[in-house]
């Protein structure tokens, strides 16, 4: 049932205008797909331009730092997260999701949870020459 609700949430998020964003330090960072008409997918990454004009890719992974890991299993089941790595300091985890869109949406939902310090998709920024 939870997966069904989350799938409905994802479908709704993509259906209403194709808005993409992620939360960074409590601020909403707007993302525009690199292509004017649709998202371009390269392997398991989506290409975007952020609100500052920087090109970046978002993969199917998210980084989450928990205040408490009490609900860790619940969140893994709810969002279909697969553990990639638990870092040795703090409650910091790297998870894999089914797609970059799922990573963006799961990170945004988790970032609003009381027991999550921060959560954001795995962002790959392109280097720019000066």
**CATH number of the structural domain spanning residue 54:** 3.30.70.80
On whether residue 45 sits in a domain, the answer given is yes
On whether residue 17 sits in a domain, the answer given is yes
pLDDT value of position 7: 41
Domain extent at residue 59: 2-125
The model carries a pTM of: 0.72
| Residuewise pLDDT in 10s, the chain (130 residues) | 444 444 434 433 443 345 788 888 888 888 888 864 344 445 678 888 888 888 888 999 999 999 999 999 999 999 999 999 999 888 999 999 999 999 999 999 999 999 999 999 988 876 655 5
Long-range contacts of 16-22 (CB under 8 A, 24+ apart): 20/48, 20/104, 21/104, 21/108, 22/58, 22/104, 22/107, 22/108, 22/120, 22/121, 22/123
Burial class (CB in 10 A: 0-12, 13-18, 19+), 130: exposed
pLDDT value of position 130: 59
On whether residue 119 sits in a domain, the answer given is yes
On whether residue 130 sits in a domain, the answer given is no
What's the domain count of the chain? 1
pLDDT value of position 128: 59
């Amino acid at each position: 049932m939870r997966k069904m609700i989350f799938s409905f949430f994802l479908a709704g998020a993509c259906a209403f205008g194709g808005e993409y964003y992620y939360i960074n330090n409590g601020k909403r960072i707007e993302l525009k797909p690199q292509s004017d008409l649709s998202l371009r997918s390269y392997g398991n990454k989506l290409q975007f331009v952020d609100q500052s004009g920087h090109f970046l890719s978002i993969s199917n992974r998210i980084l989450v730092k928990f205040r408490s890991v009490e609900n860790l299993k619940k969140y893994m089941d709810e969002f279909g997260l697969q553990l990639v790595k638990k870092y040795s300091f703090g409650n910091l985890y790297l998870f894999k999701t089914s797609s970059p869109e799922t990573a963006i949406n799961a990170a945004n939902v988790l970032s609003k949870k009381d027991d999550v310090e921060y959560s954001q998709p795995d962002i790959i920024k392109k280097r720019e020459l000066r």
